[in-house]
Amino acid sequence: MALLASTPGTGAIATAAATSLGAPKSSLGVPRSSCSSRSLGLKTLVAAMQQGSGSTTVVTSGQSSSSGVTEVDKDSFWPLVDGAGDKVVVLDMYTQWCGPCKMMFPKIVELSSRYSDVMFLKLDCNQENKPLAKELGIRVVPTFKILKHKKIVAEIAGAKFDDLVRTIDTVRTG
Closest CA to 66 of 54, 78, 75, 77: 54
Phi, psi of 5 (to 5 degrees): -110, 140
Active site annotation includes 101: yes
Active site annotation includes 125: no
Q: Which of 88, 101, 104, 141 is catalytic?
A: 101
Cβ atoms of residues 90 and 118 within 8 Å: yes
What count of other Cβ atoms lies within 10 Å of the Cβ of residue 99?
8
Q: Which residues contact 60 (CB under 8 A, 6 or more apart)?
A: 1, 2, 3, 70, 71, 72, 73, 76
Q: Which helix (H) or strand (E) holds 77?
A: helix 77-83
Q: Which of 98, 152, 157, 171 is catalytic?
A: 98
Just list the catalytic residues: 98, 101
